[in-house]
Structure 1
Amino acid sequence: MRRALFVACALAIAACSRDSVAPPEKQVGGTNTQGASTEDPRRVIKEIAVKALAPGDAITIDGKLDEPAWAKAADTGPFVDVSSGAPNPRIPVQGSARLLWDDQFLYVGFDVKDTTIRGGFPTDAPDPHLWERDTVELMIDPDGDGDNKDYYEIQINPQNLVFDSQFDDYNRPRGGNAGPFGHQEWSAGFESAVVLRGTIDDDKDKDEGYTVEAKIPWKSFAKAKASPPAPGDTWRMNLYAMQNNGGVAWSPILGMGNFHKAARFGRVKWVRE
């Protein structure tokens, strides 16, 4: 896949270089664990409990993340270096995300810090290669087993352009270095909005970043065993803030594959109050 190999560069974007066999996984305790562990980090899988929207709460998709519900949402905390699992302020893009859900939709809000916001794609481009510049990315493996079977990829860039695809297996199908990547005919059919803190594709000012807000219909995940999930179900997911084919993640890959490595995705448990 296009992100199977990454090298250290002047931008200091950390990345994963090759597949390897993971040792047995150990869950991190608690509902939202961000702290360091004395365990071998390759044995640790992040997990988070995502609460359903409270009755009467609503989310307006405008990119602002200002509804009271977002303040109560599950928060990933700052994303980390995908190679080390540690914070790395040298990486020029940073981020975090919040998650909510109800019976119809998965809601996700990204907050990205980026001093040089890049878009540059034609607004009518079908499935543009957003990872080549700036984007956020959501990987979703609904079965929760991390086996890379029947998983989904969704990207949204600062122009509010979308790349979405469905995969049968790890990076498969693949049509070569230029794609197609997965089943690009699949569409998540979601609504999204972006708010910029700066000026896209303009180096005259110093940007601060951007926020992305989206609601994704559960019915889009047709290969899931149950969609919407039932309270108590656990899916595997990862969230990234990307720049120039690298970036930071909620759950680090630790050199054990590329950004598609579902065995390294975090565990997301859907709960109600």
Structure 2
Amino acid sequence: KIIGVDETITPEPPTATATIPPRATATTAASLPTATAVPLPTTLAVVWAAQPPVIDGRLDDTLWNQTLPLTFAVHPDANDNSSAVVRLAWDAYFLYAAFDVNDTHVESAASTPWDGDSVSLVLNDQEYRYSLPNDRSDGLSAPNAYAAASLKGTTSLDNSSDRDSGYIVEMQIPWPFIPSTAGSLAADLLSVDHDQNPGGTNAAPTIFSKLSWDGDGRVDTALQQIELRPMTPAPLTFLNLHNSDTVAHNTALVGEVAPEMTDGIWVFVEPLGGRIYPQTPCSGENMAGSALRGNGRWETHTRFGGEADVGAVFNVRLLTAAPAADQELSATMLSWCQNALFPGLTLDELPPGLIEYQRLVVTRNSDSYGPPPPLAETTLAGTAEITSLSDGDTAPHIFILSGTADPGANAIWILSYNPNGRFYPQSTNPCQNLHTVYDEGHWQVPVSLGLTEEVGKPFHLYVVLADAQANAFFDQKQAEWCAAGDYPGLQSVQLPPGIEVKAHIAVIRN
């Protein structure tokens, strides 16, 4: 199950230390106590683990000093006021937990270890329990799961003749779903305190109490929330897609990315109740790869269903993939592209190492092609207009486009945005470095709109002013493409800084 935004949950801001008051009374094993009231809704922030902790049952990792402690259990007086504090951290592969338990009588229950001194973390309906001296629930027996414990100070296990200090447990829990920073996810924390019957079962004279963060003392519910904090504020977002939008069959998606985000960026499209389709081009320089990046942005071209899927609803997920996951996704997509078969993936087939940063729900509209992505622009002095065509006109395959301009010190460039989602600089003769011709307030340039067979498709024409560096970039690209005999075009994130759009129209190829 992918966990993302649950719009029925409005988490409260986390505090530096969230403390839950005791909710149980001590008794003998014949009448096991449960919580008598549910604590107020609480959300705990989980920090990003830039460096994973060493799981050794010690709290000497720097990471644990950077986390928010939660006192989730304070056992009653009959149990000598033992308490349990947890700290949580995460990365793309694991949720890390560090439990610090104060307990004056540390005891096990040999034949029923779940009744001995123990701590548990519950994600959805899966319990990850560690009981002293070394018993683990099924969750902690999963591949790559790990836990370690240590006794504090002079603590001795199952020795009623001394006064103990407590114990520490560290856990490394593989994500059972794709972790998401897009909202809260259900979790619970439990603590069992077993006293006055060292190593024995929960029969008289055992003093036993079991406390949980959500107050019901059960492992099959998780009513509280944890919130995964990303490594930086808003490191990965959509720019041109919002919840409840309608989208065209073919849409270029673009967003912002923090410079320190180095993992691969992927967009997954998922028909409601269907399989998951990673989005990637099957041609070009990033064939079968993750999204292209440039100028603090990312971009990928997305297809929502088939031609007949107008009105269909899709989940759109924005994720990062750690290097191994990125390579596995790319290999899968390359195979799909080469075989022209796109079967989709189930959740179980996705590689570990994914993090979801945003999830939106959109509906397919009847358009075949979406609008061009927004361009990253600067502000340049000067003006330019198109006079030979108007927005909504039809245009032939090859023609002369013209207009007026006062470009100042800047160069005039015409860019066509084609149905394949790429921008193409237009030139009078790209092989001789002759581009837009400008004379006494007027400009013109030959324009070629796509392929011969693209009749009836939408094209966009831009007049941009370019500063000296951007002008040199376009000039060099045209020379390179001419020499290679191939004009692959540019995605929006590949356009140079130092341009400003002065005019833009949409036309239909006739």
TM-score range, shorter chain: 0.5 to 0.7
Shift in alpha-carbon separation, 1:53–1:153, aligned structure 2, 3 A: same
- Distance (whole Å) between structure 1 residues aligned to residue 48 and residue 39 of structure 2: 29
Give CA-to-partner distance per residue, 1:25-72, whole Å, 9 cap, x none: 9856212373689xxx75832111111113xx2311111111111011
Q: Could you say what secondary structure the match of 1:70 adopts?
A: helix
The one-letter amino acid paired with 1:68 is T
Residues 90-239 of structure 1 correspond to what in structure 2 (within 5 A)?
A: 90-92=78-80, 93-119=82-108, 121=110, 129-141=112-124, 151-164=125-138, 187=142, 189-197=144-152, 198-218=155-175, 221=176, 224=177, 227=178, 229-239=179-189
In 1, the alpha carbon distance for the partners of 2:19 and 2:161 equals 38
Deviation at 1:199, TM superposition (A): 0.5
Question: How many equivalent residue pairs?
Answer: 192
Q: Does 1:34 align with 2:18?
A: yes
3-state secondary structure, aligned to 2:71: coil
Can you give the 5+ residue segments of structure 1 that lack an aligned partner in the other structure? 1-24, 82-87, 122-127, 142-150, 167-185
Structure 2 residue identity aligned to 1:162: R
Q: Which residue of 1 aligns with 2:61?
A: 67
Question: Structure 1-normalised TM-score?
Answer: 0.61
Name the SS of the counterpart of 2:186 in structure 1: strand
Given the alignment, which residue of 233, 246, 257 partners 2:209? 246
State the Cα distance separating 1:250 from its structure 2 match: 2.6
Match of 2:52 among 54, 58, 63: 58
- What is the CA–CA distance in structure 1 between the aligned matches of 2:145 and 2:119, rounded to whole Å? 15
Contact 2:146/2:173 (<8 A) preserved: yes
Query: 1:172-226 deviations in whole A, cap 9, x for unaligned?
Result: xxxxxxxxxxxxxx736411111102011112321111000111111xx2xx4xx
CA gap 1:43/1:217 in 2 versus in 1, 3 angstroms: closer
Q: Counterpart of 1:49? A: 45
Shift of 1:78: 4.7
Determine if contact 1:191/1:215 at 8 Å carries over to the other structure.
Answer: yes
Instruction: Evaluate the alpha carbon distance shift between residue 98 and residue 89 of structure 1 in structure 2; reply closer, same or farther with a 3 A threshold.
Output: farther
Q: Is the 8 A contact 2:94 2:173 kept in 1?
A: yes
Letter in 1 for 2:86: A
Code of the residue aligned with 2:46 in structure 1: it is: V
When Rg is computed on C-alpha atoms for both structures, the one with the higher figure is 2
Indicate yes or no: 2:219 matched with 1:260. Answer: yes
Distance 1:108 1:140 in 2: 12
2: distance between equivalents of 1:45 and 1:251? 8
Structure 2: which amino acid aligns with 1:96? V
Which whole-Å CA distance do the structure 2 matches of 1:91 and 1:26 have between them? Answer: 35
**Relative contact order, higher structure (CA 8 A, sep 6+):** 1
Q: Secondary structure at the match of 1:216?
A: strand
In the alignment, is the contact (CA less than 8 A) between 2:58 and 2:170 conserved in 1?
Answer: yes
Query: Structure 2 vs 1, CA of residues 130 and 188 (structure 1 numbering), >3 Å: closer, same or farther?
Result: farther
Determine if contact 1:134/1:242 at 8 Å carries over to the other structure.
Answer: yes
Q: TM-score normalized by structure 2?
A: 0.34
Note the aligned Cα RMSD (angstroms): 2.9
For the residues of structure 2 that align with 1:205 and 1:191, how far apart are their CA atoms?
30
Contact kept, 8 Å, 1:80 with 1:249, in 2: the verdict is no
Q: For 2:48 and 2:78, locate their aligned partners in 1 and report how far apart those are by CA, in whole Å.
A: 35
Question: Closer, same or farther in 2 for the Cα pair 1:42/1:103, shift >3 Å?
Answer: same
The 3-state SS of whatever aligns with 2:18 is: coil
Q: Call closer, same or farther: CA 1:28–1:235 in 2, change over 3 Å.
A: closer
Aligned mates of 1:193, 1:30 — CA distance in 2:
31
Deviation string for 1:54-100 (max 9, x for gaps)? 3xx2311111111111011132135246xxxxxx4554432110000
Contact in 2 for aligned 1:94/1:248 (Cα 8 Å): no
Distance in structure 2 (CA, Å) of the matches to 1:260 and 1:217: 18
Write the distance in 1 (CA, Å) between the matches of 2:185 and 2:79. Answer: 28
| Contact residue 18 and residue 44 of structure 2 kept, 8 A | no
The question of whether the paired residues in 1 share the 8 Å contact of 2:20 and 2:72 is answered with no
Structure 1 position 270 matched with structure 2 position 244:
no
Question: What is the CA-CA distance between 1:261 and the residue it aligns to?
Answer: 5.2
Distance (Å, rounded) in 1 between the aligned partners of 2:127 and 2:172: 14
* More helix as a share of residues: 2
Q: Which structure's residues are more often strand, by fraction? A: 2
